Amino acid sequence: MIALSLIVAAAGAALQPTSKWQVNFDENQCVASRQYGDANAPLVLMLKAPATSGILQMVISKATPGGARNAAQVEGALAWGTAPGHKISVLRYEPTGRQKLRFYVANVPKADVDAAMAGQASELSFSIKNVSGEAPVTGLHARLAVPSITSVLQLLNECAENLHRHWDQGSDPAAPLKSRAAATQPLPSLFDGDHDYPDTALFGDQSGTTSALLLINEEGRVADCTLTATSGVASLDARTCMILRERARYRPAVAADGKPTRAIDAATIPWVNLGQVP
């Protein structure tokens, strides 16, 4: 059971950080990260707060000796401090490249984050199951010391609020937009079912719907994309933001002064396996 794995992982001493929090609050994103482990077994915890949504995105990366694997959706559990663990859905993937890294990505409900802040959590425990039949083990069980996490989460909340104000130019009644940003073509039509559908999902008869939050710049391009709802199929989730960043084009929002301005848009992408269509 995943809850039992979490209890076992939490039994040992918490892994201590090897760096200070690195905070990256730029025009497009609010991110905080911290390193753990050592040169032989490094691990990085990253937290990303989208401009608007009820989630905090948590990313864990670690070195892996193996080659790239297909993306997988795996079960996990997460606990802040001494609070009970909650089940989470985790996207695990290993990009190709010189650096052999494995990433685990999960969307944590804002209610859980608020509870962690209220409880002054100083540890983070997580347990991510191995995919059945895979070797070497691709699961992950760890307990991290996260001193000052409450202050970092508060900064992320403030950054996300500022990010929303910066990008959602139509939210100020005193300065209404002349026109809102509009995709030059329906976003689902950007996805070519024949060429874009991952083989693992195609032959596994898998389909689903993803949702993403997009930041649209003055040139009508996607400056940032955050997955806000999973399809339940890892390979589809992994492709969604990649394709939207590359292909989505917008007629930019136009401010009251007639100049192009920034905007926020929400995308819902249905992935339909043509093999399932009667």
Domain boundaries, the chain: 2-166, 169-276
Q: What pLDDT, on the 0 to 100 scale, is given for residue 274?
A: 61
pLDDT tens digits along 176-235: 888 999 999 999 999 987 788 888 788 888 889 999 999 999 999 999 999 888 888 888
pLDDT of residue 7: 39
CATH architecture for the domain at 2-166: Sandwich (2.60)
Query: Which of the 8 DSSP states describes residue 120?
Result: T
pLDDT reading at 11 higher than 80: no
Digit-coded pLDDT (tens) for 12-44? 688 999 999 999 988 888 999 999 988 788 899
Name the pTM for this structure.
0.82
pLDDT-above-90 percentage for the chain: 39
Per-residue pLDDT at 276 exceeds 80: no
pLDDT of 174 over the 80 cut = no
**DSSP symbols for 155-212:** HHHHHHHHHHHHH-GGG-TTS--SB--EESS-GGGGS-HHHHS-HHHHHTT--EEEEE
Per-residue tokens: 155: 């900064």
CATH number of 169-276: 3.30.2420.10
Chain position carrying tokens 């089940």: 87
Distances (CA, A) of 275 to 7, 213, 215, 238, 271: 42, 29, 33, 21, 12
